[in-house]
């Protein structure tokens, strides 16, 4: 029986070593590029450590079929089952060898690991052959064959064990059958933590090529297919000829004049960006007969510039991050932030601020692995990134991570030591379920959303403490504070997600750098999170053209509209009203617009989503 156990473990170890071989070949092939960017052997070797967990997960997935074979062999062990297992590994070895060679070929041109889009090019092999250098193509093909032969040889020589005429006690057989799948599941999801493993687990460097080296190629390709299975061959939201859709979107964004209001007294302020987890605008505008949930935020509004007509572009945190930092709206089906090969083509306000000499940081009290946010944050090239593992372990934590007041306090202490000017972003956590914030609950109304309201009350309390301490610092008078939500949340109004009012979120600019003539003002311009990029950069006289999905909320001539995506459709709002449309059922969920304008709004929303999703596909 132990022969079967050893056989199973050896096969699992084989894949770990074979993946390490693939990583080594990638590093050696691109050694000049890697050394030019890094010049640190320790950082280069760290790709093996950072990639190990994803290798374990991928190996665990690949071992489910051998587990089935070995489970049968506990009771019935003919030679043909060994041959079947052997043949299974040969096929996978050959495919992985081909994947390694192909990836080496495309990385120089695309700067990404192989993905579903690359495989689609194989539908036109002639084009691939004509565009590749013959010597390189032949060399990589020979390399793939050599890797395949070596892999099969070493697997047969060392790692394959034939199981024949096995006589196993029933107890040991049942132990193998019950424990092995549990261990494989734990390995495949990266542990017993709440959030399953993803590519973020392997991201650790500002040098994209090292992150690519660390990321398991098989896992990355699987995620790419999984996230794009509904759009592998065509745009599922295509409703009209592309030239017509593009023309409609151009008209939507048409801005007849550039006449932005200048609300700041400086064009180079420090910037503190607080991204508030799940903050619906209903946390601020509570019913008059109920306790106020966010008194500190409302106090800030009296001396800031509040944008009261802003909507989240999607319902998930990773979508909010792309909207805020890259000015790229959310869309149905998937998120661009979970696919490095796509978000690598997005602009980044952080990179823009880096070029302007800002010291940039990102702070989060939880695990950035959620939604692959970590890899996207690393892509933005913050000078310092801190998540839960980077804080003192003695700082009070809840189930999801460090409570907001402590994360905000740590950020303030770091800012005091950072060079100026700085751009410091923080993502709060305490308004995410299970809302295990450490403060006694003060909000006694809200029914099913009472815990959410108390989570908002605690985050508001934490912001109040932070602002009180910040006001004592020497950098305070030259700092612009921006508060915005990553997305909205179900609240006391119990609106359905398809209603765009569900997606309404707060956006506030605050600080002594705001001209006194604008303090306490409310801007009613209709917009979304993506508009932060153009609005902020315009105030600082920075370039905005690379953010085509963003508009300046402080330009009265800018178009007024809001868009939000949900799983199978979109919501679209103009000053005259809104519609929410789901393509799958051709169903209008919600409409607040007069009948004579309904069709035009639906057409605008359809064109917007069609063009947006096509850009996502083409990235």
User: pLDDT at residue 514 above 80?
Assistant: yes
DSSP string, 543-606: --TT-TT---TT-TTS---EEEEETTEEEEEETTEEEEEETTTTEEEEE-S-HHHHHHHHHHHH
What is the predicted pLDDT for the residue at 130? 47
Please tell me which residue, 516 or 587, carries the higher pLDDT value. 516
Q: Count of CB atoms within 10 A of residue 254's CB?
A: 10
Distance CA 254, CA 558 (A): 7
Q: Within its chain, how far is the Cα of 555 from the centroid?
A: 30
How does residue 200 score in pLDDT terms, banded at 50, 70 and 90?
confident
Average pLDDT over residues 391-401: 93
Tokens linked to 434 = 């299970």
User: pLDDT at residue 197 above 60?
Assistant: yes
Average pLDDT over residues 213-219: 92
For residue 111, give the 3-state DSSP assignment: coil
Distance CA 147, CA 20 (A): 13
What is the predicted pLDDT for the residue at 131? 47
- Name the least confident of 217-231, 308-322, 595-609: 217-231
- Name the least confident of 32-41, 105-114, 340-349, 518-527: 105-114
What is the predicted pLDDT for the residue at 132? 54
155-189 pLDDT tens trace:
999 999 888 766 667 877 788 888 999 999 999 99
Average pLDDT over the chain reads 91
CATH 3.40.720.10 fits 268-551, yes or no: yes
571-601 pLDDT tens trace:
999 999 999 888 755 556 667 788 888 899 9
Residue identified by tokens 């399953």 is 196
Question: What is the residue extent of each domain of the chain?
Answer: 2-231, 268-551
What is the predicted pLDDT for the residue at 123? 52
Please tell me which residue, 591 or 367, carries the higher pLDDT value. 367
How does residue 120 score in pLDDT terms, banded at 50, 70 and 90?
low
What is the predicted pLDDT for the residue at 411? 98
What is the predicted pLDDT for the residue at 2? 73
288-331 pLDDT tens trace:
889 999 999 999 999 999 999 999 999 999 999 999 999 999 99
Residue 549's nearest CA partner among 493, 613, 456, 467 is: 613
What is the predicted pLDDT for the residue at 127? 44
How does residue 501 score in pLDDT terms, banded at 50, 70 and 90?
very high
Distance CA 153, CA 471 (A): 68
58-78 pLDDT tens trace:
999 999 999 999 888 888 888
User: pLDDT at residue 424 above 80?
Assistant: yes
């Amino acid at each position: 029986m132990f022969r079967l156990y050893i056989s199973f473990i050896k096969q699992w170890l084989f894949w770990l070593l074979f993946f390490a071989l693939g990583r080594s070949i990638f590093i050696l092939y691109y050694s000049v590029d890697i050394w030019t960017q890094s010049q640190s052997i320790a950082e280069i070797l760290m790709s093996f450590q950072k990639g190990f967990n994803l290798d374990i997960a991928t190996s665990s997935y690949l071992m489910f079929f051998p587990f089935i074979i070995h489970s049968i062999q506990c009771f019935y062990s003919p030679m043909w089952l060994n041959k079947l297992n052997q043949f299974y590994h040969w096929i996978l070895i050959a495919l992985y060898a081909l994947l390694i060679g192909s990836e080496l070929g495309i990385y120089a041109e695309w700067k990404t690991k192989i993905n579903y889009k690359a495989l689609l090019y194989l539908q036109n092999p002639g084009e691939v052959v004509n565009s590749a250098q013959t010597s390189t193509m032949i060399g990589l093909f020979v390399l793939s064959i050599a890797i395949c032969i070596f892999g099969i040889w070493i697997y047969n020589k060392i790692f394959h064990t034939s199981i024949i005429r096995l006589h196993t006690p029933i107890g040991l057989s049942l132990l193998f059958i019950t424990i092995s799948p549990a261990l494989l599941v734990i390995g495949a999801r990266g542990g017993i933590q709440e959030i399953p493993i993803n590519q973020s687990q392997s991201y650790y460097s500002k040098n994209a090529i090292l992150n690519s080296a660390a990321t398991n190629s098989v896992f990355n390709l699987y995620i790419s297919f999984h996230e794009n299975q509904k759009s592998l061959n065509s745009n599922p939201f295509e409703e009209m000829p592309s030239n017509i859709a593009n023309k409609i979107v151009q008209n939507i964004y048409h801005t007849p004049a550039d006449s932005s209001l200048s609300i700041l007294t400086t064009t180079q302020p420090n910037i503190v960006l607080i991204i508030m987890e799940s903050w619906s605008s209903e946390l601020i505008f509570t019913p008059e007969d109920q306790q106020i949930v966010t008194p500190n935020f409302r106090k800030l509004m009296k001396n800031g510039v509040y944008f009261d007509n802003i909507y989240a572009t999607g319902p998930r945190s990773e979508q909010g991050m792309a909207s805020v930092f890259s000015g790229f709206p959310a869309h149905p089906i998937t998120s661009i932030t979970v696919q490095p090969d796509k978000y690598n083509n997005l602009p980044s306000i952080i990179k823009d601020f880096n070029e302007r000499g800002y010291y940039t940081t990102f702070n989060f009290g939880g695990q950035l692995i959620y939604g692959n946010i970590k890899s996207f944050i690393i892509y933005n090239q913050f000078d310092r990134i801190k998540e839960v593992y980077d804080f003192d372990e003695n700082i009070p934590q809840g189930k999801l991570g460090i409570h907001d007041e402590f994360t905000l306090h740590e950020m303030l202490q770091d800012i005091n030591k950072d060079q100026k000017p700085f751009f410091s972003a923080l993502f709060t956590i305490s308004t995410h379920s299970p809302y295990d914030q450490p403060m006694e609950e003060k909000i006694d109304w809200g029914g099913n959303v009472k815990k959410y309201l108390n989570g908002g009350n605690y985050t508001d309390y934490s912001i109040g403490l932070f602002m009180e301490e910040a006001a004592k610092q020497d950098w305070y008078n030259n700092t612009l504070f921006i508060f915005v939500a990553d997305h909205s949340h179900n609240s006391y109004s119990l609106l359905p997600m398809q209603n765009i009012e569900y997606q309404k979120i707060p956006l506030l600019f605050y600080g002594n750098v705001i001209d006194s003539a604008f303090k306490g003002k409310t801007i009613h311009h209709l917009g979304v999170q993506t508009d932060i990029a153009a609005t902020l950069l315009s105030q600082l006289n920075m370039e905005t053209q690379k953010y085509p999905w963003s508009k300046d909320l402080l330009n009265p001539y800018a178009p007024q509209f809001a868009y939000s995506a949900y799983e199978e459709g979109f919501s679209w709002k103009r000053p005259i009203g809104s519609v929410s449309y789901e393509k799958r059922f051709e169903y209008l969920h919600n409409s607040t617009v007069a009948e004579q304008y309904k069709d035009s709004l639906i057409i605008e929303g359809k064109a917007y989503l069609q063009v947006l999703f096509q850009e996502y596909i083409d990235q």
